[in-house]
Amino acid sequence: MNIGQDDVCDLPQSVAMHLLKSLVHDASLSVGLQPDLMEPIVRLSVDSFAHPHWSVRNAALQLHGSVIPRLVGVSNKTTTELFHKLPGLESFFIEKLSEQPEERQLVTGGLIPSLSILSRLSPGPGKESLNSLFSSQLIALLGHPVVQVRQLASQSLLAFVPLFKTKWTTMQLCEDATILACQKTSDTPLNMCVRGSSITNSLHGCLLAIFEFLSRCRDVALSVEDWEMIRKSVSTLIPVEKEHPSYYIKLAVLKLFQILPSMAGDMESFWLYREEAVRKLYHHQPGFGDWLRLKTELVVNHISLNCMLPAIEKLLPYPNGTD
């Protein structure tokens, strides 16, 4: 291949991947794909995201879109089922999760496509060593500088934590988030998370993971006592939502309160932000508009009917504004 060839040309690699995409996408043809053929196709689709030519990367994206439903199926496959059928993918995904980006790059080419597959898996009765190996890599990615990586890593982590550990993991992550939010406790050991180059990114990734596990708690048979323990753990994040300077962090905490009602505070807790002058002051703060919108929704949804009309009169005096 001529490396200097223009991207507008269809390279042989891109043509081949378009053919493979048709083969994988067609249900009648893909039935004949054996595991020893499917595995190299997955590797090719992931590795080609780092190709220097746009036409190859575009073909890889389309092939990857056909590979995912063929791998995962309609109902999410478990990690045990996937790695039993395609054992070579276990070491391949571990390699992609641990790859370091080149200079001036924030993310490696194969990281996001690998996470997009792992995030669609369900936990299975796999080996504890396998879960531990993947969990350690994914937890490290919770502090990644790219928010999409943090989101996919938090979703992928679910697949490598057994269902019976859901409550325990949620509580451990809440404790880690409280520690990360307090800069003065930088020497305090963490239960699961790791401190990345940016404490704010690490805290944000930890909160995203809490949200995923808290959402899964609703699908697990938990007792009233279990829910009280979880609520108590999440309530330790109330000061973080009130005091942290980043509105993205405040918003991530509020999304947890959205799952556990009556934790967002009362009208007085955010009344200052409803003043027009104050809203204009914070208008350009990243995440402020989304935070104020969700805060308003959560507080108004849980005030008494006697306070509803006075609240509406105060909350809606401005026809224009950030929200």
Q: How many CB atoms lie within 10 A of CB 207?
A: 28
Q: According to the model, what pLDDT value does residue 303 have?
A: 62
How many Å apart are CA 64 and CA 117, to the nearest integer? 9
CA angle (306 as vertex; 319, 300 as ends), nearest 5: 45
Q: According to the model, what pLDDT value does residue 308 have?
A: 53
22-27 long-range contacts, Cβ below 8 Å, gap at least 24?
24/63, 24/66, 24/67, 24/70, 25/66
Q: According to the model, what pLDDT value does residue 187 have?
A: 76
What would the two tokens of residue 45 be? 């689709």
The whole-model pTM stands at 0.86
Least Cα distance to 2 among 301, 109, 12 occurs for 12
Per-residue pLDDT of 158-188, as tens digits, reads 999 999 999 999 999 999 999 999 865 567 8
Q: According to the model, what pLDDT value does residue 1 have?
A: 46
CA distances from 308 to 261, 293, 311 (A): 17, 17, 5
Contact 304, 260 (CB under 8 A): no
CA distances from 145 to 98, 150, 161 (A): 15, 8, 24
SS3 for 130-156 is: HHHHHHHHHHHHCCCCCHHHHHHHHHH
Residue type, 209: A
In sequence order, which residues have a C-beta less than 8 Å from that of residue 83 and are 6 or more positions away? 89, 90, 126, 130
Averaged over successive runs of 10 residues, the pLDDT of the chain (323 residues) comes to 55 88 72 74 93 90 90 82 91 94 85 95 85 94 95 96 94 95 76 89 96 92 92 94 91 92 64 63 79 81 59 54 49
Burial code (b: 16+ CB inside 10 Å, e: under 16) for 119-132 equals bbbbbbebeeebbe
Per-domain residue ranges for the chain? 127-237
Count Cβ atoms within 10 A of the Cβ of residue 113 and give its class: 0-12 exposed, 13-18 middle, 19 or more buried: buried
In sequence order, which residues have a C-beta less than 8 Å from that of residue 310 and are 6 or more positions away? none
Per-residue pLDDT of 303-314, as tens digits, reads 655 555 565 555
Q: According to the model, what pLDDT value does residue 309 have?
A: 56
